[in-house]
Structure 1
Amino acid sequence: MLETLGTYAESPFDAPQFLQLTPDVYLVAWDPPHAVNAAPRLEELGSAQFSAMASVRLALLDGRSRIIWALAPKDKSRLNLKLTAGTIGSGAELTADFSQSVSAVDPFALTNGLTQNACASLVTTILNTWAGMFKLARSRSFVGFATKLLQSVNDAPSVADCVASVSGTYLLETFLNSECAEISSAILIGDAGVKRLDGDIFNESYNNGRNRLFLGTVDLAQPPARSHLVLSGPWGLAIRRLEAEGAARSLGTWWASNARKLPEVRDYLITRLGGRTPTARAAVRDLQLAEPMPARRYGALGETAAFCAVETAISVDSGVLVGGWMRDPGKSIEGLDVLTVETEPVPLELHAFDGVLPETQGGYPIKKFVAFAQTGGALRHHIQPRLELRLASGERTSLVPPPQPSDAAESRANALSIIPPRHATDALISGCLAQPLADLQDNFRKQVGGPTEILIGTQTQNPVVSIVIPLYKIYEFMKPQLAAFAADRWLAENAEIIFVLDSPEQATHVEDLLIGFHLLYGLPIRMIVMEQNGGYALACNAGASKANGRYLAMVNSDVVPLDSGWLEQLCACLMMDEQVGAAGAKLLYADNAIQHAGLKFIQDEKGRWFNHHYFKGFPRHFPQASTSREVPGVTGACLVLSRSDFEEAGGYTTDFIIGDYEDSDLCLKLRSSNKKIYYLGDVELYHFERVSISKNGDYTRGVASQYNRWLQQFRWEQEIMDVMSSIGARDGMAI
């Protein structure tokens, strides 16, 4: 099917003709005296060779066939060609002499007398196959030929508009006939050469099925001037003349004035443009924020009515995390699907738990649910992924969640609060939360940015050890901590002090404090300021990356030494035995009760492994807690190790959320390299435990701790069992 046929020239090919397409590619056109039903052949009777050759067989209106060969001779010598049309005795010979002028191919002659289907086949063969085979996409002569070929097929094409652009990607729009449902190829041909439209196209029924709305994108260095859009499919060929007046219009400007704001068009734009460039991602984000879709629920609350609401739908790189609630006393809801642009709807496996509405909403019992749809990256840039409710009646109805945050930290916070902590079972974490939380944490890490450094005082040259102290909103222990450091002669002479500020909005205040403490105690200080809050592991790794010491002392900001010599003893433990990967100290509460005397792993009645401290809550001088020994691990509140071991282990693992389990994970990584972990019972420091992390709402109100515990067990369960069966049994300390 062709929408319009052009005017034919009079130039039959009863005798085969040798014609020039481009400087290096030639055509042979021949109309045998009969229909050709078998594959035609072209042979070179001499020694000439071709770098490429192809043919197409086309139907003529008079019932015969036209055969066109395209060939690229390796050298332009004399060609002696034998043509065979598949029937015995049906053949011809043709001599091509390159020393004489070769006629240029006339596109109007090629299409003269062809059927509509044959015209479509010729255009698609030349543009889809030969342009690539013979490397013609950038040839000016080929583009000129192809443009005339399109004119010979349709001399009055309809218009396609270039409606907007974003970061070098141009958006094309046109209408098609209703039968043009399947599009096999979409090609733009013009000043930029032959360009296939990038990615998937949009082609949906429009105007109550009377026609179809087509959208496509193409990446170009310049606006697409003097171009044609060529669409083909089983239905035939559609040719459009491109109008580029809107090429400079922004995506947001076009969308604001566009009358065709279908949800499917919105989905297409976000999916196709969001992954292109940072500018394109910002454009589709702004589009969604400027005109969010109204949230849509299903049903009405009542004694017998069905109701469903999706409150949270967070798009990540691997899929969509969905949370909501429903009431379905009549069992009329069959299921819930996530809608994507590229695939069929993705059914959700709902993890449900009981809930009750507030009295103001009727006090009805409800089912809360959470689910994760594995949609790949199809919806990663959507802040309102659409869903569809399947009803037992066979009907389907659309659901739209409220807009979700585009900021990675806010999205992560929403994901952490989607399930009450008491319902965060290992099965639910593994089957539903683990992948989206991993994606969100990865996105969060990417947006944290790089740290900056501020030097206070004359820095220690060639320090033995670098003390890395992460800071987050709590600064009341800095003065006693630095006072204790200054009173320790070995530390003052051999250590450098690196504070890593993980609440950068307070950088000026903290810098002023540190300058004052430097003037008071005389200790040089390095201050590393994170670009934004990244959590414990990222802050510690940033500080370690700037360290100059042979050893690293990872010390919390709420840890204060009791006496001098603590750091020298911990470093000496590493120096005396190269098999020791990390060393830790006894940590005490303010009331002198033990907070930490080595880290171990304990298992609850459900088989879940947790971190626990030996002798927690026992008196300071409890004899067994004062014994130095090998332990499964030590807390990151005071952990000393060599910088080379830290770097070889990859530092603190950064996919734990907020700040928990990184220290035990590091100890397990060191153990996997055949290193031992030691606890020194005669080295004592105060630890005002978990003061900073209590300021982080994401941690305290969600399921971050359960997720981190699950993640450690998922990675290290066998190693945990092994170390507890060896060291735990050997030291006999079950407390």
Structure 2
Amino acid sequence: MLSLAPVAMATTSPAQLELHRLGGSVFLLCWTLEASPFGKPAIALTGGGRRLPAASISLGLRDGRERLVVAFRSSGHDNVVATLTDHGPQGDVTAGFDPTLVHGLADPAELLKELAPQARLTLANALVRSWPPLFGLAAIPNYLSFLRQLLLTLFPKPAAMQPTAALVEGQWLFETAVPADFGALQGVARLDGAGLSRLDLKARLGATDRSGKRELHLVLDAPPSRGGGLLILQGERSLVLRALPGRQAAASLGRWWAGKAASRDGLRNWVVEQLAGLSEQGRLLAIEMQRRVPLAVQHVRRSDDLPAAELDLAVCNRAGLLIGGWLRDPDDLLEEVLLHRGNGEPIAMLAHLQRFPVRLPAGADGETRAATGFAGFASDYATGAPVLQPRCEIKLKSGTTLTLRPPVQPADAVTIRARALAAIPPQYLTADMLGTTLAPVLAACQEDLRDSRPEPTVRMFGQPLARPKASVVIPLYRVYDFLRVQVAAFAGDRWFAENAELIYVLDSPEHEAEVAHLLGGLHLAYGLPMRLVAMRRNGGFSAACNAGANQARGEVLALVNSDVIPTANDWLPALIARLDRGARVGAVGPKLLYDDGSLQHAGLFFKRDSKGTWLNHHYFKGMPGSYAPANVERPVPGVTGACIVMARDLYEELGGFDESYVIGDYEDSDLCLKIRRAGFGILYVPDVALYHLERQSIARSIDYTRGAASQHNAWLQSQRWGAQIDALMQAFETSAPELALPAPVAPSEPDLVPRFGFRRATAA
């Protein structure tokens, strides 16, 4: 070890002063002194009259002395002066030296020789973690050589990281063991011929086993052919060195899954998270492995009064995990419900469970027993990875725990949405249940469906119009009973045949061949050109309408249901004529009749239910079609999506139908509210009448539960538009005219009151 040649310039010299080269122009000054009773000593470095940037640590020696170690960079042109301040009565001590006299690298063995065990780790952590980025050492070859020697001096024969399974995208799962006192993992670095690099890795530390070790799992790049690198694991209270092996045969993921993963569900869930975070291929592999090697279903069913429970719902997406099931606890023995995850402490769920009464079968003769149904949502579970069989524990006040595990759960968004809608019986749903438990999962399902939706296929029957004035978009879902009548009515309307393009959007792609055959036959029979847009996957009413609008070429867009039949010709031009940008009429809707001639729709309005949620209603619904108040043209709060006519550019400007609404409900009123937010009014035109055989197709949807889906959509509309709907309905109910049309305002503060003077309209 090189001692400094210059002597201290103060009357009292330090016990020991040494200078070492770390690499390049970076040096290490070591100043050893007796422990100071006056305070923590510090060293300042100056060169050429300027203070040098430096980083220092204090290290304890085995004999009780203290060593201040300072890393600094020197340009080599000036002598360096070190000033030691120990707050003692003798004052500061200074020493001058010339770093250019130090040529050889520091000797790791000499640096470590006198240090206490914890001081060795402190120095190693600084050399690995703090100083390389500060002084640009991570790629200097002689520093990397020095650091490798120092680490191998601390850990002469590092164990090898063991690859346990090959994953995807060139990633492997590695396993090793660390001491029980390792603490939380603070960082991981890799040292090899390419340099010293910090790795941004997710790791899982297991519990301490009988031998006093803790398992550590990491996902790393597949090792190179020759290997030879070192992996540095930095813990809160320890540092662990592992040798990275060369390329070798790793076990298949399937074999590992059937072995260790089958008995370690926390580790299994963690690997699921890692796979899902790698790529779509990884996510699909995680789903496959869970289905290929499922865990045993666990529940507690009892016929006595001891606690019993079952977990039958545990669907997971990017929002979190939704669980549901039932429990019986007649003697109030339940203390907590714990939801286990891949890493970290279990999530306490009891305070977040929504409860409702259920009846359980109790015998072959149809007897039932009262129980408590529950549903709960954990937002921070598994980062949206598809964990299909999470473990839940019922913890009793006696200390007993009951383990619950559901059957393998669905991973696709459509089925997750259907299961979420059935999680809580509609009669028990409240706004709080929707907002805290169901809405996050449903919103994530809608986003997943939108983001992953394939492009539809398009087929044309006949020669399309060169320049259509209007585009009529009609979504189809499983019910095609009215197509013949509807197409015949359109074909018999001369204006329609000469000026409108007809676009059908099929939202049940399994019926594409059948519907294409039907439309092809109708084209041959009536000569009316039409386009079929076939969705590759069911996306709901909003997505279907938006897909059709994307194909539209007309200046005006008419969105019409498949069960709407005109009563007379020229219905479409009569509605188009009422659109007027100058008068700020943004959308119009006709009178809709049931097949018996009674009113189904004479404009849409909003009314609160007993829970304060804004619901959609139709003026005069059920009254005779000739009912006088329903035959007055007037502005209305909104019109139904069964038939709404508006400018296509306005539809596109507003983003079309919002696909956040589940399946098909309330997106029409949401669009009307967006039209008003843009500064336009909405007009009801009773001179145009059409038949509407209401909800014939939506009732065929396996996901549509009128209570759950509709309540969610009403809740969502109320959350978004509650204050604005309140102001709008007050204006209509008081017949208060708006004297001037305001400029469009930001979406957060929309003004929905139209320019028209209002006439009072009452609901039947």
After TM superposition, the score normalised by the length of structure 1 is 0.90
1:481 equivalent among 469, 478, 486: 486
| Residue 349 of structure 2 corresponds to residue 347 of structure 1 | yes
**Partner-residue secondary structure (3-state), 1:690:** coil
| Residue 450 of structure 2 corresponds to residue 448 of structure 1 | no
| Residue 256 of structure 2 corresponds to residue 254 of structure 1 | yes
Equivalent residue for 2:317?
316
| Residue 763 of structure 2 corresponds to residue 734 of structure 1 | yes
**Partner-residue secondary structure (3-state), 2:181:** coil
The within-5 A match list for 1:271-310 is 271-298=273-300, 300-310=301-311
1:511 equivalent among 516, 519, 526: 516
Residues 661-670 or 588-597, more deviating: 588-597
Structure 1: which amino acid aligns with 2:28?
A: V
Structure 2 gaps of 5+ residues are 5-14, 735-758
Equivalent residue for 2:396?
391
| Residue 214 of structure 2 corresponds to residue 232 of structure 1 | no
Q: What displacement does 1:48 show?
A: 6.6
1:416 equivalent among 403, 417, 421: 421
Equivalent residue for 1:241?
243
CA distance in 1, matches of 2:262, 2:243: 21
Q: What displacement does 1:725 show?
A: 3.0
The within-5 A match list for 1:18-417 is 18-23=19-24, 25-32=25-32, 34-35=34-35, 38-46=40-48, 52-73=53-74, 75-82=75-82, 84=84, 86=86, 88=91, 90-97=93-100, 102-164=103-165, 165-191=167-193, 193-208=195-210, 210-218=212-220, 225-245=227-247, 251-258=253-260, 261-298=263-300, 300-340=301-341, 341-348=343-350, 349-360=352-363, 363-375=368-380, 378=383, 380-417=385-422
Q: Residues 590, 496 of structure 1: CA spacing in aligned structure 2 closer, same or farther, 3 A cutoff?
A: same
Residues 131-140 or 671-680, more deviating: 131-140
CA distance in 1, matches of 2:420, 2:445: 9
**Partner-residue secondary structure (3-state), 1:302:** coil
Equivalent residue for 1:723?
728
The within-5 A match list for 1:456-535 is 456-535=461-540
Deviations 1:475-523 (A, max 9, x none): 2322222222222222222222222111122223323333333333333
CA distance in 1, matches of 2:728, 2:226: 66
Residues 720-729 or 399-408, more deviating: 720-729
CA distance in 2, matches of 1:462, 1:377: 52
Deviations 1:331-370 (A, max 9, x none): 2122313233235523333222222212437622211122
Query: Is the contact made by 1:252 and 1:283 (CA closer than 8 Å) also made in structure 2?
Result: no
CA distance in 1, matches of 2:72, 2:453: 56
Deviations 1:565-624 (A, max 9, x none): 111011110047541111011122223232222222234444443222223233333333
CA distance in 1, matches of 2:430, 2:92: 80
CA distance in 2, matches of 1:91, 1:247: 59
1:679 equivalent among 684, 696, 718: 684
Query: Is the contact made by 1:599 and 1:631 (CA closer than 8 Å) also made in structure 2?
Result: yes
Q: What displacement does 1:22 show?
A: 3.5
CA distance in 2, matches of 1:127, 1:260: 37
CA distance in 1, matches of 2:600, 2:706: 24
**Partner-residue secondary structure (3-state), 1:686:** strand
Structure 2: which amino acid aligns with 1:357?
A: L
Count of matched residue positions in the alignment of Structure 1 and Structure 2: 720
CA distance in 2, matches of 1:470, 1:571: 21
The within-5 A match list for 1:7-22 is 18-22=19-23
CA distance in 2, matches of 1:530, 1:258: 42
CA distance in 2, matches of 1:627, 1:541: 31
Structure 2: which amino acid aligns with 1:351?
A: Q
Query: Is the contact made by 1:163 and 1:247 (CA closer than 8 Å) also made in structure 2?
Result: no
Residues 153-162 or 550-559, more deviating: 153-162
Structure 2: which amino acid aligns with 1:46?
A: G
Structure 2: which amino acid aligns with 1:541?
A: N
Deviations 1:47-75 (A, max 9, x none): 5775x5212333334444444332234x5
Q: Residues 534, 216 of structure 1: CA spacing in aligned structure 2 closer, same or farther, 3 A cutoff?
A: same
Structure 1: which amino acid aligns with 2:26?
A: Y
Q: Residues 553, 207 of structure 1: CA spacing in aligned structure 2 closer, same or farther, 3 A cutoff?
A: same
The within-5 A match list for 1:569-608 is 569-575=574-580, 578-608=583-613
CA distance in 1, matches of 2:603, 2:121: 78
Query: Is the contact made by 1:574 and 1:582 (CA closer than 8 Å) also made in structure 2?
Result: yes
CA distance in 2, matches of 1:84, 1:645: 75
CA distance in 2, matches of 1:135, 1:452: 56
Structure 2: which amino acid aligns with 1:92?
A: A
CA distance in 2, matches of 1:260, 1:433: 31
Q: Residues 89, 553 of structure 1: CA spacing in aligned structure 2 closer, same or farther, 3 A cutoff?
A: closer
**Partner-residue secondary structure (3-state), 2:517:** helix
Equivalent residue for 1:4?
none
Residues 714-723 or 398-407, more deviating: 714-723
Q: What displacement does 1:378 show?
A: 3.7
Q: What displacement does 1:250 show?
A: 5.1
**Partner-residue secondary structure (3-state), 1:520:** helix
Q: Residues 89, 207 of structure 1: CA spacing in aligned structure 2 closer, same or farther, 3 A cutoff?
A: closer
CA distance in 2, matches of 1:250, 1:701: 47
Query: Is the contact made by 1:336 and 1:387 (CA closer than 8 Å) also made in structure 2?
Result: yes
Query: Is the contact made by 1:198 and 1:217 (CA closer than 8 Å) also made in structure 2?
Result: no
**Partner-residue secondary structure (3-state), 1:144:** helix
**Partner-residue secondary structure (3-state), 1:159:** coil
Q: Residues 252, 464 of structure 1: CA spacing in aligned structure 2 closer, same or farther, 3 A cutoff?
A: same
CA distance in 2, matches of 1:439, 1:259: 28
Q: Residues 550, 221 of structure 1: CA spacing in aligned structure 2 closer, same or farther, 3 A cutoff?
A: farther
Residues 608-617 or 303-312, more deviating: 608-617
CA distance in 1, matches of 2:674, 2:137: 56
**Partner-residue secondary structure (3-state), 1:674:** coil
RMSD: 2.9
Q: Residues 301, 256 of structure 1: CA spacing in aligned structure 2 closer, same or farther, 3 A cutoff?
A: closer
Residues 226-235 or 671-680, more deviating: 226-235
Query: Is the contact made by 1:318 and 1:380 (CA closer than 8 Å) also made in structure 2?
Result: no
Query: Is the contact made by 2:474 and 2:562 (CA closer than 8 Å) also made in structure 1?
Result: yes
CA distance in 1, matches of 2:264, 2:251: 20
Structure 2: which amino acid aligns with 1:337?
A: L
Query: Is the contact made by 2:308 and 2:327 (CA closer than 8 Å) also made in structure 1?
Result: yes
Structure 1: which amino acid aligns with 2:173?
A: L
Query: Is the contact made by 1:319 and 1:372 (CA closer than 8 Å) also made in structure 2?
Result: yes
Q: What displacement does 1:199 show?
A: 4.5
Query: Is the contact made by 2:336 and 2:394 (CA closer than 8 Å) also made in structure 1?
Result: yes
After TM superposition, the score normalised by the length of structure 2 is 0.87
CA distance in 1, matches of 2:382, 2:141: 38
Structure 1 gaps of 5+ residues are 1-9
Q: What displacement does 1:642 show?
A: 1.0
Identity over aligned pairs, percent: 36
CA distance in 1, matches of 2:679, 2:226: 62
CA distance in 2, matches of 1:672, 1:131: 56
